[in-house]
Amino acid sequence: MMVIYAVIVLGVLIFVHEFGHFLVAKLFNVKVEKFSLGFGPKLVGKQIGETEYLVSAFPLGGYVKMFGEGGFIEGGESHHPTSEEGEESATEDAGKVAVVPRELTEEEKTRSFAHKPPLARIAIVMAGPVFNLVFAWLAFIVLCMLGVPSITAKIGEVLKDKPAAKAGVLKNDVITAIDGKAIVHWEDVAEAIAATKGKPVVLTVKRNMSYVQFTITPEPRVAKNLFGEKVNGYAIGVASAGEIVTEHFGPIQAVVKGTVQTGKVIEITVMSLVKLAQRVVPLDTLGGPIMIAKMAGETAQAGGSSFLAFMALLSVNLGVLNLLPVPVLDGGHLFFFFWELVFRRPVSQKAREYAQQVGLMLLLGLMLLAFYNDIIRYFVGQG
């Protein structure tokens, strides 16, 4: 079942990504020759109009092949280059492919990706990652309307000899305001205390049916952030009761909340990549197909909302990662097109080929590392 759920997740997200490329290519009147879910050997395919729709053997990627695409590599699938002067005419000789260009007609040039202006090509390539981010945004909006679990501001423990205990705060008190600012969730408490920079605060709590106020001076503390780094902060010495409520939002509120949540996830994803490059986050935290399958299975068992939330998180990751300036990814193609836009000349074919080879080696290396981590984490570690 984990494999089935993983295929569902990856299939949906890959479809969304490639449909972005496909739709915007069509808007710019580019001929789309192939639309494939997966890469590698073809499993099934059907020609509809000018496009062949495929399901290929390896479901870890996909690609859209456009007429005059110029040798792009999408999702791990390598395409033979098509000259800007002509369409390929390929013959096999000892395992090699010879490309014999011919002059394109004026009508063919209007349908050729390579003959579109840089801004059009940028829009087509950027559409894939953007569609992934939009999918995540819509998913978060739906989740807000379905109901979002949140931890209340109820206190479960008051630490001995800490500022809150000395002031008289008790277990089961519910924090309702800090310095007059309304508190609803437990995360609001941490943010409000951190914002004080150690200055005294007025804490309002609900105790039974009455409200009580305390003036408390937070004390310095050293904690760890999301990435395991030690950070200086302030605390008053209380712990959450872990009480969870489900909040439902109307359409307008859901759009606002969903937008904020999407922004937060994008920020965390970008910062995770930065911390990974800085070696703050160790490389053994990278996960591959096995981790995705395991998490897909766990979230599916937890319910539809959890499964949708996992898809949204993974969609943001897919969108952000594809914008990295690595030649085999969308971000690499965007780099070349922006170069052409700024310097009024394309990057040479030879330079692009070398860059794609380096990018492909880098991507394969990361995939192997992630797969190795999965094996160690889920098989060797359990043994």
Active-site residue numbers?
18
Distance from C-alpha of 343 to C-alpha of 366, rounded to nearest angstrom? 32
Residue in 213, 233, 210 with CA at minimum distance from that of residue 223: 233
Residue in 139, 145, 147 with CA at minimum distance from that of residue 245: 147
Mode of pairing for the β-strands spanning 148-151 and 244-247: antiparallel
Distance from C-alpha of 213 to C-alpha of 191, rounded to nearest angstrom? 19
Measure the CA dihedral 35/40/45/50, to 10°.
40
CA distances from 261 to 135, 136, 204 (A): 13, 10, 28
Backbone angles phi, psi at 227, to 5 degrees: -100, 10
CA angle 266, 319, 360 (to 5 degrees): 125
Q: Taking a C-beta distance cutoff of 8 angstroms, is the pair 144, 253 a contact?
A: yes
Per-residue burial over 6-36, b if 16 or more Cβ lie within 10 Å, else e, is beebbeebbbbbbbbbbebbeebebbbbbbb
Q: Which two tokens stand for residue 28?
A: 């710019």
- Estimate to the nearest angstrom the gap between the alpha carbon of 71 and the chain centroid: 26
Could you tell me where the beta strands, DSSP code E, fall in 198-289?
201-207, 210-216, 219-224, 230-235, 238-240, 244-247
